[in-house]
Amino acid sequence: MQDLSTVLTKEPSFSKRLYFRLEEAVRHETEVLFRFPWGTVSGVPIYLDPSCVEIRYLCVSEDEYDSPSDEISWKSIWLIRLEEISAISYRRESWSKQGLAELLPKEGASEAETKE
pLDDT tens-place string over residues 68-102:
555 566 788 889 999 999 998 886 666 677 777 87
Domain count, the chain: 1
**pLDDT at 39 (0 to 100):** 86
Give per-residue pLDDT as tens, 25-67: 999 998 998 998 888 888 999 999 999 999 998 766 555 555 5
**pLDDT at 8 (0 to 100):** 52
**pLDDT at 24 (0 to 100):** 93
Which residue, among 10, 25, 5, 28, has the nearest Cα to 85 in the 3D structure? 25
pTM of the model: 0.59
CATH number for the domain spanning 53: value is 2.30.30.100
Sheet holding 32-36, edge to edge: 68-81, 52-62, 39-48, 32-36, 87-90
Q: Which domain holds residue 99?
A: 4-115
